[in-house]
Chain A
């Protein structure tokens, strides 16, 4: 049997760990730059606060109902996420946990007897809540897709489920699928859900389960569709995955707090994002061969699809792969020169490093002398200082000295769990 453990309104739960006065109160957490609502408690949802909705659109409801508002505090969320995952590893064994996202993990419960699943799930839930203060829901079923279904239903009806649902028998599975719309099934996208409903008349999970694999192979995206049908029938086919240790591509991108028109400002921002990306690059001991930069101009009308917008990008291939910030900033800034059009205003920029190779085996080029060890020493020193003290104590001048190109976070709580000088004070 497989389980999924999912933290309830994770970012809000993190804020509530040190704020017991917010127990059962409406709470929301805002995205970078305090733009959108990215997490909300059930109580906030009941007030009609929308998910992923712009903060200003909800300001009235929020102020009228005294909703607690927080800027995102990724130091705190990252730390608590690790605590939740460590607790799960402690409970079921490190190799039986697949971390799926910051607030979700799949567990392999094959070693637990069928009659003990319910109590095991209860123990997992209670231990995580006691140790970390984060409330979770647990769905247990023969496959990952069905575990997701169980988890979703347990959240919908917390009073009777108490945050736990175990789908053990065929009858329980069929019942649960009947109550689940196709678009709510893990792996069914918005587009395929529309197709399933309009062309095939398939509205719920049970109808989808009753289709056969040949049909899924033809009409539901080949192997992926087949696997989905098998999973719905209770046949475990989406394997537990090993953690992704090295990423193939590293990107840093942000919306600007406000539209930017000056090219030097964009260069500063791009230099800042490049430094951050290079830091991530070095952390996984890789070097990059390709630097890409993109900018998104601010449109006059929002008629188009605002999610994709009008991205302008270009890239440069480096003579040899590098992980040194100064060697990456230079081409990145040259790319800004190329992309920038005078008179335009921009709302977003980003840097992407690709063509990654392991840092130890950087292939040197016959026409390009290998950089000396000094570069590595400098980078190590910068990373150590920034990592142990605070972000960006040391940075390259190209990133600018006056402006903070990082997030605007006006209502951020303190970093209670990661900073010695910000520990929570108690009387």
Chain B
């Protein structure tokens, strides 16, 4: 995901207009030069949500992930269609509960790591029901 760009044939954002309806300057005098460069504009739905049916929002509670820049009250954008990979921040299923942690795997074992010294890392060898719920792709933080 990081730094990856998709150029899809279909527009998946939420702006309900096509290139034919792109707004023009509507100038009565000389102003049409900019019209040649009219665009749809920036659309957060298009940029932040890559796979709409698989994308869900969560709200972060607590400070387990402050080191990763995720603070209490932040909104997380989670994509269920992405695969589990080393180093990703994920929504994990553990003990029947949902948990935000960073997934870390080395040659012999796998861990869920909190980005806060006060929290212990979880060794997944001790749990039988670990599963991936989804991968966190963005965090929305109010300043």
**A binding-site residues for B, Cβ under 8 Å:** 18, 20-23, 82-84, 86-87, 90, 127, 130-133, 416-417, 420, 423-427
Contact = CB atoms under 8 A, between A and B. Distances in A.
A110 B75 CA distance: 42
A86 B12 CA distance: 12
Interface string B48-87: 0001111011111110100000000001100011000000
Contacts of A21: 95-97
Contacts of A23: 96
Contact of A426 (B61, B95, B131): B61
A83 B53 contact: yes
Contacts of B64: 427
Contacts, number: 66
Contact of A423 (B57, B81, B95): B57
Q: Is the interface of B mostly helix, strand, loop or mixed?
A: strand
B71 to A, nearest CB: 13
Given A83-B52, A417-B56, A427-B62, 18 more contacts: A20-B131, A21-B96, A21-B97, A87-B53, A87-B54, A90-B53, A130-B80, A131-B51, A131-B54, A131-B80, A132-B53, A416-B56, A417-B57, A423-B58, A423-B75, A424-B58, A424-B98, A426-B58
B5 to A, nearest CB: 20
A130 B82 CA distance: 9
Contacts of B56: 416-417, 424
Contacts of B58: 423-426
Contacts of A86: 52-53
A425 B61 contact: yes
Contacts of B54: 83, 87, 130-132
Contact of B59 (A18, A22, A130, A425): A425
Contacts of A127: 81
22 contacts: A18-B98, A20-B93, A20-B98, A21-B96, A83-B52, A86-B53, A87-B54, A130-B54, A130-B81, A131-B54, A131-B80, A131-B81, A133-B80, A416-B56, A425-B58, A425-B59, A426-B59, A426-B76, A426-B99, A427-B64, A427-B99, A427-B100
